Chains A and B, each alone.
Chain A
Amino acid sequence: MGRTSSLSGVSLTRWSKVLGLGLWLVCATWWGPPLSLAADAGKLVEKDGKYVFVESMDPATKLLLERAVKQGTITREEYEAVARESQERAYLLQPSFKVWYDRGFNFSMNDNAFFLKMRFRTQIRFTQRTRNEAYRNPGEAKNFPELLGVFGDYRANRSEDSAAQFNIRRMRMYFMGHLFSPDFKYYIQMRAETAENAQAPGGLALMDVNFSSTHLSWLNAQVGQYKMFFNRSQINSTASMQFAERALVQDAFTASGLDRRDIGITVMNDEELFPVNYYFGVFNGAGPSFNRLGSFQSEEPTQGCPGGATGGNPFPSPAGCPVNQRNLNANVRLDVNKLMYVGRLMWNIMGRPGYGEGDLAYSESPQLAMGGGYAYNPSINTSSNNSFVGIDLANLNFRRQLAAFGNGRQLGLGIVDYSTWAVDSVFKYRGFSLQGEFYFKNVTRHEKGLPCMNTACTVTAPGQFGNAFGWYVQSGYYLIPRKVELAGRFAYWDPDTHSGDDLVKQSDVSLNWYLNGTYDQSIAVTYSNIQMGTGGYAVGRSAPLPSASGTVPLDVRGGTLIENLIRVQYQLFF
């Protein structure tokens, strides 16, 4: 195939071709090489196990030369010498790079020592949402509270019963490829999307930057910031889901308990080669674009005395602590020598189903895999071990992550260690898919006593702090192979095993149309019903409250938060 023609040889709309060409022109200008496309003068062939570029002589010239050999005008040696020189000339006239479109804009040096693929992905969504009266009062204050100000006051998330909004749910820019050799890879992902969650505002942000070595198939290594290899639903890209959005339970049980991404290193074997895959990683355990040195808490000038509001010592401080003076307080970093450990094993029992949801590939033979992961993330500061909301000066990064991923009930538990387990399995065959996971999170509090409700610590919070578990099962079937899929999911989540009336149940049905028979262009219509219990104790949001905080907690009204959503989403990945 001619190399110039490959720019237009793929199923790409005229629109994206124009856009792509424009982008390529900009990039080509930046990088400096002369703006010229590779000539259609040869092809890549495999020779002695290597791919080499061989020029094809012009057929007319070849015919004339062969005829000349037959007629004895030139000798066979002369013919071969001319052919060789022609090939060398054509080879030398080639640009040293090539540019083409193939699921992204590709730029490569001819020796394949450098390769860059640029891709863009967007999910544009319309959401029609209805909520019951409980969302107006009391609102969602426990799993997904909103944090206000530098003190991180817990706020109930309330809204009226109906909403209809467009948003750019995901806008991603990818720069990936290899350096030096195809076995040293890089990957950069940026995002810019509409803010719909007060804990995760919009704007351009770095999501991933990592390097991978695949020199040894049994010992690949990836270092940088990326999604941890822990459980199936989080490893999978949001570009290849059966529903417009993950289930809430899938987000709540990430490896770190904070976010699906982190900074660290993972060693693993090659998923494409081995039937059993291992992954072992060490990370900061602090979430993306952050580490534990960025997390602090307030301390008085006197070491070991917790800081707080000026003129008082509201915490159950150690004996001898003076009245604190906030303007003289310090920010102290504790537990900064701690790291998170993540491990995962996966067995491809039949075939190789991969991580993408649904059987888009229409597997000809049954595909079955099961796996499990364990993650230990110690010493996460969920905010001080008391209910004095509004006086707990500390960095809010951990708390915002907890609230954004639905682990708001763990706010206020002091320093905790997370041990999270996940077990998953998937089956695919001829357009049918079945997938499920079970999660369990053990929350170990460092402060073993109950949180104090007043300065003298004569009133304490009820002892309802438990662990968390959840599961989901989802299935799909391609009504039209590789084109139209119908999928259903049910998810169950108990965010605090010691609390009652706090269960989260979610049901989803989705009809997906994959326009090109790949995940790259799709329209999904997903209906979701989400029911969240408002029961259970949550520090700072349930009775008893601190003495100065009034007597009417959010639990008085209670009830179940019920939400029905229809999401219509268009995805384009190019």
Chain B
Amino acid sequence: MNGRSQPVAMLVAVLVLIGLGCARIPYTTTVVHEDQRVAVRLQREITLAGYTHPVQIPPQQVAALLRGFSLREQQRLPLRWFAEETPPKKLFREDELQVLAPQLADALQKVGSEERVYFEVFAPGMNPRYRRDVTGGWVAVHDQLLHLTIDYFHVQQPVTQSDPYDYNYPTPWTPEKTYLLYFEPGRFFLADPKTGRRSVDFREFLKTTSSP
């Protein structure tokens, strides 16, 4: 290989890659709230989503909606044959709903039609100085349907970029997992005709709950 042409080729390749450097996964546009217990952010979708945001849902009703969810982790084959016999777990505890619901309700009033509301609920990790227990995901509203996706369910995530014990090794977050979600009462958990994903008909559901 010609020695002089190599750096030029490398430079061209770099410029091409910079040009390609557009977002390919949703990215944060606004931090609505962040503290030690909960973080709520607005994230821009990378494809046209056409959500019907913003929407006003009181915190108590957001809590009532979230209270109905349970989940279990979706395993890959062949583990799926064995692991998914486990019963679903409740998604949120009451103390988590108390801190999350008000922030989520606030964010749903601010989020745009091409954005999603991303949230994380924190608790101390097993090694509390350097790990956090994270339950996170995102919500969006399509007409009367509220869509919820969970990325982490009580996953231990690092609080530092490098391993605190091995300075030379970076510790990025464990990537999202796939969870199977369930909602009770099941009659409100419908397939969204636009996306085909299971979502909660929150307007009908909220009619069945006592008004705040």
Q: Which residues of A contact B (CB under 8 A)?
A: 1, 3, 6, 9-11, 14, 43-46, 51, 98, 100, 102-103, 106, 108, 112, 115, 117, 174, 176-178, 182, 185-187, 214, 222, 227, 235-237, 239-240, 271-272, 352, 354-356, 360-362, 364, 429-432, 434, 473, 475, 477, 481-482, 488, 490, 503, 505, 507, 516-519, 529, 531
Contacts and interface: CB of A to CB of B under 8 A. Distances in A.
Given A174-B166, A354-B162, A481-B25, A518 B1 contact: no
Contacts of A503: 3
A230 to B, nearest CB: 12
A108 B127 contact: yes
Contact of B123 (A6, A9, A45, A240): A45
A276 to B, nearest CB: 16
A187 B7 contact: no
Contact of B160 (A102, A176, A178, A272): A272
A477 B25 CA distance: 14
Given A355-B162, A355-B170, 7 more contacts: A45-B123, A45-B124, A185-B165, A214-B164, A237-B166, A272-B160, A518-B175
Interface string B16-30: 011011111101100
Contact of A112 (B25, B123, B127): B127
B21 A187 contact: no
A519 B170 contact: yes
Contacts of B24: 430-431, 481
B173 A361 contact: yes
B154 A237 contact: no
Contacts of A505: 1, 3, 6
A430 B131 contact: no
A79 B81 CA distance: 46
Nearest to B26: A364
B131 A102 contact: yes
A313 B170 CA distance: 56
Contact of A355 (B20, B131, B168): B168
B50 interface: no
B48 interface: no
B77 interface: no
7 contacts: A44-B123, A103-B171, A117-B165, A236-B168, A356-B169, A482-B172, A482-B175
B13 A488 contact: yes
A43 B126 contact: no
A293 B3 CA distance: 44
B161 A100 contact: no
Contacts of A236: 168
B20 A507 contact: no
B14 interface: yes
Contacts of A235: 167-168
Contacts of B128: 44, 51, 112
Contacts of A271: 162, 167
Interface of B: 1, 3, 6-7, 10, 13-14, 17-18, 20-25, 27-28, 36, 79, 123-131, 133, 154-156, 160-162, 164-175, 177
Contacts of B155: 9-10
A178 B164 CA distance: 10
B165 A507 contact: no
A41 to B, nearest CB: 15
B127 A106 contact: yes
A421 B170 CA distance: 25
A560 B6 CA distance: 17
Contacts of B3: 503, 505, 531
Contacts of A240: 169-170
A298 B167 CA distance: 41
Nearest to B36: A46
Given A112-B129, A477-B20, A354 B175 contact: no
B153 to A, nearest CB: 8
Q: When A and B form their complex, which 3 residue pairs have the shortest distance between CB atoms, in order from nearest?
A: A517-B175, A356-B170, A1-B154
Contact of A46 (B10, B124, B154): B124
Given A187-B165, A354-B162, A529-B1, A100 B23 contact: no
A490 B10 contact: yes
B21 A432 contact: yes
B156 A176 contact: no
Contacts of A360: 170, 172
Nearest to A187: B165
Given A43-B123, A187-B166, A352-B161, A364 B6 contact: no
A475 B161 contact: no
Given A174-B166, A355-B162, A482-B175, A429 B21 contact: yes
B126 A431 contact: no
Contacts of B17: 432, 475, 477
A222 B168 CA distance: 13
Contacts of B166: 174, 176, 187, 237
A353 to B, nearest CB: 9
A174 B36 CA distance: 31
Contacts of B130: 182
A519 B171 CA distance: 8
Contacts of B1: 505, 507, 529, 531
A11 B174 contact: yes
A14 B78 CA distance: 11
Contacts of B20: 432, 477
Contacts of B79: 14
B129 A272 contact: no
A44 B154 contact: no
A478 B63 CA distance: 38
A362 B24 CA distance: 9
A382 B20 CA distance: 49
Given A117-B165, A177-B165, A364 B174 contact: no
B123 A434 contact: no
Contacts of A177: 165
A44 B169 contact: no
A171 B144 CA distance: 55
A77 to B, nearest CB: 24
Contact of A10 (B156, B170, B171): B156
A239 B169 contact: yes
B10 A488 contact: yes
Nearest to A516: B175
Nearest to A229: B167
B17 to A, nearest CB: 4
Contacts of A102: 125-127, 131, 156
A186 to B, nearest CB: 8
Contact of A100 (B6, B126, B173): B126
Given A364-B27, A475-B10, A481-B25, A115 B127 contact: yes
Given A9-B154, A106-B127, A431-B24, A507 B6 contact: yes
Given A10-B174, A431-B21, A108 B154 contact: no
Contacts of A45: 123-124
A503 B171 CA distance: 37
A237 B21 contact: no
Nearest to B16: A477
